[in-house]
Structure 1
Amino acid sequence: MIVNTEGYHALIEYLTEHLAIFANQQGDTGEETVEDIVTDLVASNLMTVFQQNPELDSEVRFTLLREADAVVADLGEVLAG
């Protein structure tokens, strides 16, 4: 779906080239990482989508979950660099 698109790959490339976007410029702001925040946001948004669309087939739900996991994993890889 999303992960295999040209636009998604361009976004990952952009983030990789501009890691300074994620640099902490104001000192330590706490224990939570960008990956933690993104994971929470993705999970809460997926739950909202599922609640708003109870008729979604379970296969579609699993596909969306796999895609979301892949996005979070890719972001984790980018930030680890």
Structure 2
Amino acid sequence: MVTDKDGYIHLIQYLTEHLGLFETPSSQVISDDTVMELFEEQLSAQIIMVCGQNPSLSFIQRNIIIREVDAIVYDLEEILALVANYKATPAQTLFITEFSSLIKNLFDQEIAKLQAIA
């Protein structure tokens, strides 16, 4: 649905270009959540929003979306392996929020295409 699209590949490249952001200087204030926990929380919130905004999605389509999110989380775990368990800084939290919103946009676009076909 989205993980096989160019937009997703570009988002992953965007993330890898900003990996330096995830090197936490010891002097920064950090949150209680780890980098990966924030990604999971933000992605979950965005996908709940996607499904809520599209009540006409079938059970099968919702399951496809959930499998896609699982694949995205797996990719994030691979990319962020060295920093996934670090506590997040405010700048990282902002980036994660924005990145998750961009993932939602990918789903919104694909769902719009599905609905246009139906």
Give the Cα separation in 2 of the matches to 1:46 and 1:7: 17
Tell me which residue corresponds to 1:37: 38
Q: Comparing both chains, which one has the higher relative contact order based on Cα–Cα distances under 8 Å and sequence gaps of 6 or more?
A: 1
Residues 49/17 of structure 1: CA separation in 2 closer, same or farther (3 Å cut): closer
Tell me which residue corresponds to 1:62: 63
The AA in structure 2 aligned to 1:46 is I
- In the TM superposition, residue 31 of structure 1 has moved relative to its aligned partner by 4.0
**Please, what is the CA RMSD of the aligned residues?**
2.1
Identity %: 37
The AA in structure 2 aligned to 1:74 is D
Residues 13/51 of structure 1: CA separation in 2 closer, same or farther (3 Å cut): closer
- Output one character per residue of 1:10-51: Cα deviation in whole Å (capped at 9) or x when no partner: 432443354212111344614421111111111112112222
1:3 and 2:32 matched: no
Tell me which residue corresponds to 2:54: 53
Give the Cα separation in 2 of the matches to 1:51 and 1:6: 25
The AA in structure 1 aligned to 2:37 is D
1:23 and 2:23 matched: yes
Give 3-state SS (helix, strand or coil) of 2:60's partner: helix
Structure 1 spans left out of the alignment, 5+ residues: none
